[in-house]
Amino acid sequence: MPSAEIINFVPWLSPFSPGKILVIRLQAFGDVVVTLPYVQALQTILPSTQFHLLTREEFSSLPHNMALFNRVLTIGGGRNPKLQWLSALQYLPSLIHEHYEIIIDLQRNSLSRMIRRILHPKSFSEFDRFSLHTAGERTKETINKLGFTPLPDTLPRLTLRNDNTGLEKLFSSNFNPAKKIFVLNPAGSSETKNWPTEYYVQFARTWLHTIDNNIQFLVLGTDAIREKTEYLKNQLGQNIITLIGLTTQAEAFNILQKADLVLTEDSGLMHMAWVSQIPVLALFGSTKSIWSKPIGEFSICLDSSDLECGGCSRPSCFFGDIHCLTRHKPDLVIKVAQELLLLKKSRKWCGA
């Protein structure tokens, strides 16, 4: 019999559906987003089961607005592990009172394991943190290990409690409902994840002037990209809508549902887009794409895996030129985006 330390799942053996399932995903926002369609797919298999989520407070806006969860529990402490532990310990009596029969540990760190062991569910499954598969694929495998009907390849689209959330902010801008929306998302967290801002401008201008002028560009996100957004606004004028710093996570998610294409760097908004089955063209520099790239038939990732230095994870470029991203010129990105949109159109034509 293997020791308890190396058992990372115990399947559900009862012929009856569990009463309550606790899903744990504490960080980061993009990773929390990735879990949502897979948990919703399980909820369609277990419609009478209550689903609760334990996450960090700063990532809770979107889950709070998901029809999926009966309860969202949040711990404080930000990025400080000691404060996270203190906050979680205060929550334990409430968690024990819920009598969870299954815990899906999509974090698999010392804190999530402590919570699972104290709650002692009948069944549990832990996330594989180290295999060379995308986060989505590993999330799916974690859930499938519980022994229910395997999750489908095509996941259900996520639904909010209020499907009008945030739309008033879009419509109160200079949004023209007759035009398509292309989202530009220059939100990579370091210079080695940033496609040149002037390339976004060239992409937008070329598309408007040579392909389709019935497009409005949109930028969502936090104040972290305000300077880039102001540059885009100065260059593109009335052709771009900026809602930087004006939306919650849930509002941004719902506004994204109006998008026809998302051109994006590695960020939480990128994950929100691909889990929504919106055409996503992702530009990855230093990011390890094998773990983080968007997946699904309507996602394309131009990454650095073909380079010797690819996926370096360095915040600054060792060679000083960020070639992994600058080599993807706007003309190439436009060609790939056109191919992606044609694929989406053909799938819709075939009834997908």
| Residue ranges, CATH 3.40.50.2000, the chain | 7-144, 168-349
Alpha carbon of 118 to those of 22, 129, 142, 305: distances in Å? 13, 22, 20, 41
Q: What is the pLDDT of residues 235-261, one digit of tens each?
A: 999 999 999 999 999 999 999 999 999
Q: Which pLDDT value is given to residue 109?
A: 94
CATH code assigned to 7-144: 3.40.50.2000
Q: How far is CA 94 from the centre of its chain?
A: 28
Number of C-alpha atoms within 13 angstroms, CB side, residue 118?
16
Architecture of domain 168-349: 3-Layer(aba) Sandwich (3.40)
Task: Decide if pLDDT at 116 tops 60.
Answer: yes
The closest alpha carbon to 41, from 120, 116, 144, belongs to: 144
Express each pLDDT in 334-344 by its tens digit: 999 999 999 88
Residue 2, pLDDT above cutoff 70: no
